[in-house]
Structure 1
Amino acid sequence: MGKSALILIDMINTYEHPDAELLIPSLRKALPHVVRLLERARARGVPVIYVNDNFGEWRSHHGEIVQAALAGPRAELVRPVQPDADSLFVVKARHSIFYETPLAYLLSQLDVDRVVLVGQVTEQCVLYSALDAHIRHLMVTVPEDAVAHIHSDLADAALLMMERNMHATITTAEAVELCVVD
């Protein structure tokens, strides 16, 4: 097994969007699992990469995105997973973490061949990102208890598609193997 990277998808968020109230209950269940996985990754020296929507703020950088989320009405959902000094941050504008971002190049520079995807939304950004990782010949792991959904039926279908069509490993956060190769 090669080198892993933990990728947090859209976890830095103000939750001021139309689907937020549908998303938040699932996020509250997933958050403790994301936090524990994040702590494990940091302790092992596994690269932690935040790939986050810029919310249409084209002049913003990652510090401003984090500050806005921490100043927002749902800061308690952001504070436990906020980036530390060693975290990497990629800004995205669309659903996939790879679409017109430097993420593929970054992963190649880090010699990563396995991505662990956590965050939101299972049936949207996580699904599309898993597909794009798969077509880039990356191994994909999705801990089903560390991703949040808007619609549970679509999330279940998305997880099944990732497993069957993309050969993703669907597991729990506790069972995720975080590999570091020096």
Structure 2
Amino acid sequence: MPISREVLLLVDVINPLDFPEAEQMLASALAAARAIARLKQELARRGVAAIYANDNYGTWHSEFSDILQACRSLPGARGEIAELLAPAPEDLVILKPQHSAFHSTPLEHLLDRMRAERLCIVGFATDMCVMLSATDARMCGYQVQVPRNCTAAESAWRKREALRQLGRAFKCDTRASVAARKP
């Protein structure tokens, strides 16, 4: 188990995006995925550990590697996102049953063992899984950053409102990540 005071938490980034409103989110998800990949690379250079918290999409008998492979084989942006954000061998992966990465998962135990103090939370969807993971992280006492350029939602309004709520009510840092910007 790596010791990492800061942890990058990637929420639902390996995702088939096959829900009814997914088409509305696809372009922003691809842009966010590119920013997340740049941020992850920069944080890895600094020794920051990464944990993927992913839905299992109702297939409890599957392994994360099955989900990754299925998403990688999808055409277009869906497959590109999975390819861009595939975990490195040293990254940790947990499957979550619902929206928050903390709910009914070993995440809090992992973070405790890693001696984490700060979480940088990125992923899909800003107004659901990312927001609920960030609020749970704050309730657990972590400092939380949710870089606005590293998340996506079904609409710009939903993303903006979720980030506003995270910043105002939960005191999360929602500024764009400089490391995630295009060179």
Q: Distance in 2 between matches of 1:72 and 1:101?
A: 27
Is the Cα contact below 8 Å between 1:62 and 1:91 reproduced in 2?
A: yes
Aligned match of 1:90: 94
Aligned partner of 2:45: which letter? A
Normalising by structure 1, we get a TM-score of 0.92
Question: Unmatched 5+ residue regions in structure 1?
Answer: 177-182
Equivalent residue for 2:80? 76
Determine the C-alpha separation between the residues in 2 that align with 1:127 and 1:103: 16
1:23-73 CA distances to partner (integer Å, 9 max, x unpaired)?
A: 101112212211110101222221101000000001011111111111223
User: How many equivalent residue pairs?
Assistant: 175
Aligned counterpart, 1:146: 150
Q: Please tell me the root mean square deviation across aligned C-alpha atoms, in Å.
A: 1.4
Name the SS for the 2:95 alignment partner.
strand
Runs of 4 or more above 4 Å deviation:
none
Determine what percentage of the aligned residue pairs are the same residue.
33
The alignment's TM-score, normalised by the length of structure 2, stands at 0.91
1:175 Cα shift? Answer: 5.8
The aligned residue for residue 58 of structure 1 is 60
Q: Does 1:22 align with 2:24?
A: yes
Distance 1:57 1:15 in 2: 15
Cα displacement (A) at 1:107: 0.4
Distance in 2 (alpha carbons) for counterparts of 1:157 and 1:15? 21
Relative to structure 1, the CA distance from residue 165 to residue 4 in structure 2 (aligned partners, 3 Å threshold; closer, same or farther) is same
- Partner residue in 1 for 2:134: 130
CA contact (8 A) 2:10 2:51 kept: yes
Shift of 1:77: 1.5
* 1:80-122 Cα deviation digits (max 9, x unpaired): 1100100100101211110100000000000001110111100
Instruction: Specify the code of the residue in structure 2 equivalent to 1:124.
Output: M
**Is residue 114 of structure 1 aligned with residue 118 of structure 2?**
yes
